[in-house]
Amino acid sequence: MNYEFNWFYVQKSLPDLFDGLLVTLQLTLWANAIGLVFGFLVALGMMSKIKLITWPLTIYIEFFRCTPALIQLVWFFFCVPIIFNVWWSGYFMGILALGLNLAAFNAEAYRAAIQAIPHSHSDASVALGLNAFQRIIHVILPQALILALPVLITNGIGIFQQSALVALISVEDLMYQGRYISTQTFRPIETLTTVALIYFAVSFPVSQAVSYIERRTKRLLAN
């Protein structure tokens, strides 16, 4: 390979890459906020015995789990404005698509965690006179969060990485900036390698934290 590496343009463009990283982190935080809250509500709905509730939620979960995130993102960006006559920015559409995608996966994590909570805990909360809302907030939610936390964080890392797809709808995230710089400088190897290393630098510490939380959770459950 007769290729001479030149990192000058990448170093010069680092501020633009970090601006893109900031957009990526904002997208990730908002998507996780939707995924954590809406995912829990969907999980509660899936625990219902009313088929009129569970069927639409099942369709929602299976749609987002069984179709590519790229298709979902592009569909939201191009089809939602036509169908509902609403014209939102690519940034907002990216948050919405990523958040709903994450909520579908988180819902399954929550549901598994809720099913793992001993029935005696619910029985005790009923005996204490807690109503349904109080049982959800004070008994079910805290335990479900603890049990599902490793999976929720792993899903959050996944959505951080999938957020790179928003570059296709012209959201100026890290991937968009990297692609733009690489085409302007004709230095794709240096630029995209730097972009990959930035994604890795953010994701790797979080993945290690997941491993630590899993070990702690296992020890807590063992006691």
Q: What residue ranges define each of the domains in the chain, with the CATH number in brackets?
A: 12-222 (1.10.3720.10)
**Token pair belonging to 61:** 């979960």
pLDDT by position in tens, the chain (length 223): 678 888 998 999 999 999 999 999 999 999 999 999 999 999 999 998 899 999 999 999 999 999 999 999 999 999 999 999 988 999 999 999 999 999 999 999 999 999 888 888 777 887 888 888 888 888 888 888 888 988 999 999 999 999 999 999 999 999 999 999 999 999 999 999 999 999 999 999 999 988 888 787 777 666 6
Q: What is the CA radius of gyration of the chain?
A: 21
| Tokens (6 digits) for 167 | 């570059």
CA distance 55 to 157: 29
| Model pTM above 0.75 | yes
Q: Look up residue 129 and give its two tokens.
A: 């006179």
Query: In the prediction, which pLDDT does 1 show?
Result: 63
> Contact, 112 vs 87, CB < 8 A?
no
Residue 76 pLDDT = 94
What six digits make up the tokens of 149? 């936390």
User: Letter for the amino acid at 86?
Assistant: V
The distance from CA 62 to its chain's CA centroid, rounded to whole angstroms, is: 16
d(CA 69, CA 165): 8
CB atoms within 10 A of CB 85: 7
Query: What is the rounded distance in angstroms from the CA atom of residue 84 to the CA atom of residue 216?
Result: 47
**Residue 121: predicted pLDDT:** 78
